[in-house]
Amino acid sequence: MKKILAFFLFLTLNLTAQTWSPLPNAPNFIGPFSKLDDIHFIDANKGWAINLLGDVYKTQDGGDTWDKLTNLDTFLRCIKFANESVGYTASLNGAFAGGSGAPKMLKTIDGGNTWTDLTASISPLPIGICGLNVLNEQTVYAVGAFYAPARFYKSTDGGATWENKDMSAYANALVDLYFFDANLGFAVGSNSNGGVILKTTNGGTNWSVVYETSLFGDLLWKIQALDNNNIYVSIAGTSITEGARIIISNDAGENWNVKQVAPGEVHLQGVGFLNQNHGFAGGFFDGVYETLDGGDSWQLINVGANYNRFQKISDDLMYASGHTVYKYSNSLSTPNTGEIIPKPLYSMDVYPNPVSDLLNIRYQLPDYTHVNLSIYDITGKKVISIFDGWHTEGEFNITKSIKELPSGTYLVGLLSREGDVLTKISISH
């Protein structure tokens, strides 16, 4: 009995010592999207982080200190290393950050200090690259972008030559991918039926659709392979009704199940599991959600914001990119009270309220961002889409006829990549 009690005491102490904490000296990013777009660690100590300004950062001590290696002057979206020397990074069209510049594919052979532009070796030129998978120094896979059209890129000679495959037969957009070996791989994104998971068994020559969410507005964002059987995919959806969700396969991608993370939350971005029971999910909202039962139930941890990429290092160590870089480990650490989490100055006035004919919507956006402005019924089902796309910053006024809607209570939602505003209205004819 004493041995059993001692074991449970050890287990309890071990679990309570685990915590997420922002790394005090890691780069923060305040601006459009307000997040570091990607991180990659090759072990517990050595890792890299990037942002949309083109900055490349590196740590060699588990995130305690960071060095800014260079600025590549492009909207960096993803980064992966084969080892401590050879790595790849890629970017989007700069217009999506309110700037300019064509998408790029770049390679380093000195740990990120200097980079060679490989873009000219890709024909036709890439339209934007969101996800990278580096199998080894020579074999690299990539997909993009989260905006149409969908493409798959592959190099087996260290980036000297590339295959550029049109994926429009399977998807409208692709965001992330993972290859188990040179032949077996999965890619995630969206098609006309919502979120889509694609599979290849011959290195990307042929693909098949293995799962669709069948919900308009769903865009699958990140994929994590915990092992050969357990695969996790996040849904960057905009459905208030369905809320934040992930997709799980426990049989190597043969079957998939959707798990709700949080009702009412949208724009989920990242997902990462430490084991089959213990995992995390986060997105364009404050905090990170944790599950201890394989995704059946979740609790919010009020640490950080804008979680995007989770990377497991060991059974008790994980890193995540978000507004800054976050670390989950057995070492109990004090949360960084100096972290500045931006609160976008979004505002929305809706009038008159109650309304019978014409609804006026006045709203303010502090940054160039992606916006979905819609009217929902009281259950959260979208009934009128007013605007859905990339939007400039500033103050705006829209007048919308609501005569087609029955009398009742509705929600006007301004959903963006950095925050959401919901206002209840009453329609009375």
Per-residue pLDDT reduced to its tens digit, 269-302: 999 999 999 999 999 888 999 999 999 999 999 9
* Enclosing H/E stretch for 126: none
**Of 123-132, 331-340, 399-408, the least confident:** 331-340
Q: Virtual CA dihedral for 157, 144, 192, 410, nearest 10 degrees?
A: 160
At 344, the pLDDT band (50, 70, 90 cuts) reads: low
Is residue 21 a contact partner of residue 326, using CB atoms and an 8 Å limit?
yes
Beta bridge partners of 154: 141, 163
At 121, the pLDDT band (50, 70, 90 cuts) reads: very high
- Residue 112 pLDDT greater than 80, yes or no: yes
- Residue 15 pLDDT greater than 90, yes or no: no
Selection from 202, 166, 196, 211 nearest residue 184 by Cα: 202
The domain limits of the chain are 20-329, 347-427
Beta bridge partners of 219: none
Q: What is the pLDDT of residues 53-96, one digit of tens each?
A: 899 999 999 999 999 999 999 999 999 999 999 999 999 987 76
Give the CA distances from residue 413 to residues 49, 175, 351, 359, 379, in Å, rounded to whole numbers and listed in that order.
33, 25, 14, 13, 13
Please give the distance of CA 312 from its chain centroid, rounded to a whole number.
Answer: 16
Q: Which residues contact 243 (CB under 8 A, 6 or more apart)?
A: 260, 261, 262, 263, 264, 265, 266
Higher local confidence (pLDDT), 392 or 87: 87
- Residue 317 pLDDT greater than 90, yes or no: yes
Q: Which residues contact 314 (CB under 8 A, 6 or more apart)?
A: 44
Q: What is the pLDDT of residue 98?
A: 60
Give the CA distances from residue 201 to residues 186, 208, 427, in Å, rounded to whole numbers and listed in that order.
9, 9, 53
> How high is the mean pLDDT of the chain?
89
Q: What is the pLDDT of residue 35?
A: 85
Query: Residue 101 burial by CB count (10 A; 0-12/13-18/19+): exposed, middle or buried?
Result: middle
Span 151-178, average pLDDT: 98
Q: Which residues contact 116 (CB under 8 A, 6 or more apart)?
A: 106, 107, 108, 109
Q: What is the pLDDT of residue 334?
A: 47
Is residue 252 a contact partner of residue 178, using CB atoms and an 8 Å limit?
no
At 9, the pLDDT band (50, 70, 90 cuts) reads: very low
- What distance separates the 2 farthest-apart alpha carbons in the chain? 73
Does domain 347-427 match CATH 2.60.40.3080?
yes
Rounded distance, CA 35 to CA 57, Å? 14
Query: The CATH number of 20-329 is which of 3.40.50.970, 3.40.50.150, 2.130.10.10, 1.10.150.120?
Result: 2.130.10.10
* Enclosing H/E stretch for 8: helix 2-16
- Residue 14 pLDDT greater than 70, yes or no: no
Task: Kindly calculate the radius of gyration of the chain based on its CA atoms and give it in whole angstroms.
Answer: 22
At 421, the pLDDT band (50, 70, 90 cuts) reads: confident
- Residue 311 pLDDT greater than 80, yes or no: yes
The fraction of the chain above a pLDDT of 70, given in percent, is: 89
Rounded distance, CA 61 to CA 140, Å? 27
Q: Which tokens in the block code for residue 37?
A: 């777009």
Place of tokens 């200190």: 65
Higher local confidence (pLDDT), 12 or 251: 251
